[in-house]
Amino acid sequence: MAADNDPESEVFEITDFTTSSEWERFVSRVEEVLNEWKLTENYVEKTSPEKGAYINGSWGEQSLDIHFADFKFYITHHFLKEDCKTENGKSEEDTLPLAMQDLLCMHNDFPPRAHCLVRWYGLREFVVISPGANCEAIISESKCNLLLSSVSMSLSNSGCQVPMFVQIQQKWRRIYAGECQGPGVRTDFEIVHLRKVPSQYNHLSGLLDIFKSKIGCNLLPLPPVDIAIRYTYILQDWQQSSWPQQPPDFDTLLGGEVGGVEFGNLPFGACEEPISELHLATTWPHLTEGIVVDNDVYSDLDPLQAPHWSVRVRTADNLQCLLGDFITEFFKLCCRKESAEEILGRGNAEVEGQENSDISSALSKLTEPAAQVPLSKLSVSSMVHSARRHIRRHRHIDESPLHIDMLNSILLYLFPDAAVEKSSDKEKTAQANSFRTSEQDKSPDDNLFLQLKSAPCDSLTYRLALCLCMVNYSYGGLAAVAHLWQEFVLELRYRWENNYLIYGLTGGPPDLRCCLLHQKFQMLNCCIERKRARDEARKAQEGNRERERKVSGGRTSSSTTRETPQGKSWDSWSDSEDEFFECLSDQGEMESSNSEAGKDSSKLKADGRLHPYNNMTLLHSAELLYVPVTQVTPSLCRSSAFSSGVLARMCDGGFQEPAPMTEDQLEEQSEVLAKLGTSAEGTHLRARMQSACLLSDMESFKAANPGCVLEDFVRWYSPRDYVEEEVADGKGSTVIRGELSARMKIPGNMWVEAWDTARVTPARRQKRLFDDTKEAEKVLHYLAMLKPGDLARHLLPCLLHAAIMKLKQEESVENIPSVEKSIQQAASQANKLLHSVNYDYKKLEDFINQLVTMEMVIAEARSLKAKFAVNEEEDKGQAADELEKFVISLLEEPEVVVLGAGQARIGRIIHRLFINAQRLQTVSSVPQAALSAPVDDDLEPAAESRKIPDFPPPAGREILLRTCVPRPAPYSKALPQRLFCVLVKDEFRLAGAFSADTSFF
């Protein structure tokens, strides 16, 4: 009980009535934001904004989230970026805030692109509080008043002189209420928004009455009201103008397609009128009350008499452009996963699978040393033609995805050398090489393919991309693409089997700077070249032997033919069987010859000699050292494992260029070598793999130089590894002696091991290091297995390359600086996108949209030039240049001023366009004879029929009223008042800014 009576043990509940409410927290948060943005630091502008500053200047914006209880708001600061602000620590009391000064500024009325509050009030800086995303609009009057009181408290507490607005009602209505406070002054911003224009306020006189009544000034006489008026007329009818797109050519295969051209040229241009509207704004910038009359009976506001004209154009929404549609549809192919078998049907799939299995089994059996199956049944050519017959049988011509006539036309475009029937090999070779000679005459722009990793212009890969793009868009889509690709691969196989070079490919090894598909085509062409050279050499050798048999006979002839001429190359010693396998009898012959070499190597006959090497002789005999005929060495052997002396011998006749390899083969090769690791065993195995051509060269060297030793080979192959020095012999004479370098004497040296295992075998009897037959079949198999989606991904760089070149070509005709700059930027961007291993499809889609935008701009320029008759000017001098400059400005600027207004040449052209549109609209009520009369450029409005006005009723009227009067009492400070009126068909808006002196009120 004592504890209960102790007063210190009692607990009191204290209610803190000073705790801030939600409204107070909101006001405090707004003040914090204003201080954070440093809007409470008042400053004074040295000068008012220059004319055009709101258009040409840069606008900034910063935004934050604030909450009123659980309701989210955005608070956004809009400002014109300027550098002419000075801190005003000791501002005078009578200095007006900047916002009030802007209300009377006349330099930037009616800006074409700006925030609506900038256009209505002429402000250069303001803050807006708007409901957050997915939040309901502020509609109730009580909530609106609560927000306005919050704004007023925040401005008053912080001393901020930047006007602050609150967006109320539905967002689409764009209704803002706001306030601006200064020392002893306040401006209230109010907006009235109606759907229809009241009849009594449908003219200037009625709006002046509203303005004067709102001001409520009792001064007499009332200060004059400054007026600025802007009427906007819209031209939508272009029936008198020519269509900007070329009409279809019905004499070609693509006659049914709008904008269609021959194969090899991408279509270009808009399929509809790109310019939907032309807006003519006629402005009277400086008027005063009483100078102009505008009421419900009469108006002095004639657009032809307006001192200021400006024009803007509005483009069509969702404009369909040919180039953009073609590229977009082809880009969609990249995401398809179906194989050609699934697209063309299961029957064709079985045939195609049988074809591939037949080829693979044929190759495996043909490369076996002991083949038990007759070669005639394992012929690759017979199996391919058999598969082709099955495909033709299962696919009826009428059921083909691609019509046979179109297919033949495309193949003839891709392989124009096939048009010469029964031409000789020389003729076809000349046609195939014609592409190579033309490569030297190309402009620097054609090197664009190096940046994009595509293919040279007019190459086979480039033309294939264009054809597939056209077929995909106009002639059957995915199925037609799969059909054309299948026929294309069959044509390549036919050329491989019949030794016809592929048209449209440069000579030499695959160019790793091009796309992978182009490298594959070049690899196949290299194989054809090797095969042709081998077959031609064999035919020439057989012809020589036949002539020798006819001229001479007996042992003399036979002994002559058995001797090896020193100047013959590897190809001249090949025969048809060597293409596939090594002869077993040859191997036995070589083994026996090796055993004989151990007994007396000097008795062996030299084989495969090219020419003597620097008059050197063998170390153990007086015979000259000959450079042997070697095989084509693969690039693997030319790695850093060999000394620079090996590379130096590349210039010698003994070595030929490295074997061709594509980038995927190089990557695979690098991966295999990298997987071997850095262990001793892995290093030794890697060296063995890289010594394949070293072993081949050693065997060729032994065959060309009987009785040679390793030192002889090193002297030729890597002279740096043979060290010579002068020593004294037993007689006191100085002689030169040589020995292998230190690295050659290391135990287990790879060169020593290879020399010991090398047989005496000339290059013509060796297994080929580069098997062109095997490589060609690998390429053909790779191409046959490509899915249409993968094919599209391989050809996408070529198509984008063609699109950029097309844009460059079209832009050079129209001469649009902004598009020219955009094309250069697009080429740099594509360089980064297309060189990556895995394409970023989202970025590629954005890039394609950029190309479509450039095409739209060029189409718009072409349309405007046709409407303004830029290319039809008679003098082609200053007037034409002025028109062209005006058209380009319409595309690059939001609004273009017409110098001279309606009295200038451009103004007369615009006037004529409106007159023609008005005539067409009233065609039913006007006699045909009057309509057929031509319209003169200098035609006065009165010369036409009074029933047809030159201009339609204005689509929009904007009237700006300004004055400076004392409020609320006659003895108050004179402050700016402003009313902006918007009158359009379905909208009536009054945006007023009314200032009052709060010093004594």
* Mean confidence (pLDDT) of the chain: 78
State the Rg of the chain over Cα: 44
The pLDDT tens digits of the residues spanning 312-336 come to 999 888 888 889 999 999 999 988 8
Task: Find the mean pLDDT for residues 360-373.
Answer: 48
Q: Check: CB of residue 884 under 8 Å from CB of residue 813.
A: no
Confidence at residue 584, expressed as pLDDT on a 0 to 100 scale: 35
3-state secondary structure of 981: strand
Q: Check: CB of residue 706 under 8 Å from CB of residue 604.
A: yes
- Inform me whether the pLDDT recorded for 924 exceeds 60: no
What proportion of the chain, given as a percentage, has pLDDT over 90?
30
Confidence at residue 963, expressed as pLDDT on a 0 to 100 scale: 93
Taking the C-alpha atoms of residue 147 and residue 23, their distance in angstroms, rounded to an integer, is 9
- Inform me whether the pLDDT recorded for 53 exceeds 70: yes
Taking the C-alpha atoms of residue 113 and residue 796, their distance in angstroms, rounded to an integer, is 38
3-class SS letters over 59-99 = EEEEEEEEEECCEEEEEEEEEECCCCEEECCCCCCCCCCHH
Cα separations in angstroms, 326 against 262, 477, 479, 716, 744:
15, 11, 16, 59, 63
- Inform me whether the pLDDT recorded for 8 exceeds 80: no
- Inform me whether the pLDDT recorded for 696 exceeds 80: yes
The pLDDT tens digits of the residues spanning 594-647 come to 444 444 445 568 888 888 998 889 988 888 999 988 875 433 333 333 444 443
In order, the DSSP letters of 327-374 are HHHHHHHTT----HHHHH-HHHHHHHHHHHHHHHHHHHHHTSSS--S-
User: Picking from 21-35, 118-132, 254-268, 681-695, which range would have the lowest pLDDT averaged per residue?
Assistant: 254-268
Taking the C-alpha atoms of residue 271 and residue 68, their distance in angstroms, rounded to an integer, is 52
User: Picking from 140-144, 200-204, 753-757, 919-923, which range would have the lowest pLDDT averaged per residue?
Assistant: 919-923
Number of DSSP helices (H) and strands (E) in the chain, helices first: 32, 19
Taking the C-alpha atoms of residue 265 and residue 809, their distance in angstroms, rounded to an integer, is 11
Task: Find the mean pLDDT for residues 766-788.
Answer: 86
Sorted by sequence, the CB contacts under 8 Å of residue 594 that are 6+ apart come out as 759, 760
Q: What is the DSSP letter of 276?
A: E
Among 329-338, 385-394, 438-447, 684-693, which range has the highest average pLDDT? 329-338
- Inform me whether the pLDDT recorded for 454 exceeds 60: yes
Confidence at residue 160, expressed as pLDDT on a 0 to 100 scale: 92
- Inform me whether the pLDDT recorded for 241 exceeds 90: no
Sorted by sequence, the CB contacts under 8 Å of residue 544 that are 6+ apart come out as none
980 token code pair: 């902006």
Which residues on adjacent β-strands are paired with residue 280?
233, 311
Q: Check: CB of residue 307 under 8 Å from CB of residue 258.
A: no
Residue appearing with tokens 């012999």: 729
Confidence at residue 804, expressed as pLDDT on a 0 to 100 scale: 92
In degrees to the nearest 10, what's the CA dihedral of 879, 882, 886, 888? 110
What proportion of the chain, given as a percentage, has pLDDT over 70?
73
Confidence at residue 622, expressed as pLDDT on a 0 to 100 scale: 86
Global pTM exceeds 0.85: no
The pLDDT tens digits of the residues spanning 712-725 come to 999 998 888 898 88
Taking the C-alpha atoms of residue 461 and residue 975, their distance in angstroms, rounded to an integer, is 74
- Inform me whether the pLDDT recorded for 129 exceeds 90: yes
Confidence at residue 119, expressed as pLDDT on a 0 to 100 scale: 94
Q: Which residue has the higher pLDDT, 688 or 833?
A: 833
Confidence at residue 245, expressed as pLDDT on a 0 to 100 scale: 61
Task: Find the mean pLDDT for residues 743-770.
Answer: 83
Strand ranges in 644-766 using DSSP code E only, listed in sequence order? 722-728, 734-740
Strand ranges in 124-236 using DSSP code E only, listed in sequence order? 125-131, 164-168, 175-182, 185-194, 226-235
**pLDDT band, very low/low/confident/very high, at 507 (cuts 50, 70, 90):** confident
Which residues on adjacent β-strands are paired with residue 166?
129, 177
**pLDDT band, very low/low/confident/very high, at 588 (cuts 50, 70, 90):** very low
Sorted by sequence, the CB contacts under 8 Å of residue 846 that are 6+ apart come out as none
**pLDDT band, very low/low/confident/very high, at 572 (cuts 50, 70, 90):** very low
Any alpha helices (H) in 815-840, and if so which ranges? 817-834
Q: What is the DSSP letter of 758?
A: -
Sorted by sequence, the CB contacts under 8 Å of residue 301 that are 6+ apart come out as 229, 231, 284, 292, 294
Going by C-alpha positions, the residue among 28, 129, 41, 43 that lies closest to residue 84 is 43
The pLDDT tens digits of the residues spanning 418-441 come to 876 444 454 455 455 545 444 444
Confidence at residue 445, expressed as pLDDT on a 0 to 100 scale: 61
Going by C-alpha positions, the residue among 941, 869, 932 that lies closest to residue 905 is 869
The pLDDT tens digits of the residues spanning 142-164 come to 999 999 999 999 999 999 999 99
The pLDDT tens digits of the residues spanning 69-103 come to 889 999 999 999 876 544 444 455 568 899 999 99
- Inform me whether the pLDDT recorded for 851 exceeds 80: yes
The pLDDT tens digits of the residues spanning 867-902 come to 887 766 555 667 778 888 898 899 888 899 999 888
Residue 32's H or E segment, with its range, is: helix 22-36
- Inform me whether the pLDDT recorded for 255 exceeds 50: no
Confidence at residue 564, expressed as pLDDT on a 0 to 100 scale: 39
Confidence at residue 93, expressed as pLDDT on a 0 to 100 scale: 58
Taking the C-alpha atoms of residue 282 and residue 990, their distance in angstroms, rounded to an integer, is 20
User: Picking from 37-46, 297-306, 976-985, which range would have the lowest pLDDT averaged per residue?
Assistant: 37-46
Confidence at residue 31, expressed as pLDDT on a 0 to 100 scale: 93
Confidence at residue 936, expressed as pLDDT on a 0 to 100 scale: 52
- Inform me whether the pLDDT recorded for 981 exceeds 90: yes
- Inform me whether the pLDDT recorded for 975 exceeds 50: yes
**pLDDT band, very low/low/confident/very high, at 256 (cuts 50, 70, 90):** very low
**pLDDT band, very low/low/confident/very high, at 556 (cuts 50, 70, 90):** very low
Q: What is the DSSP letter of 29?
A: H
Please, what is the angle between helix 788-814 and helix 477-497, to 10°?
A: 100
The amino acid present at 906, given as its one-letter code, is: I
Going by C-alpha positions, the residue among 674, 696, 693 that lies closest to residue 685 is 674
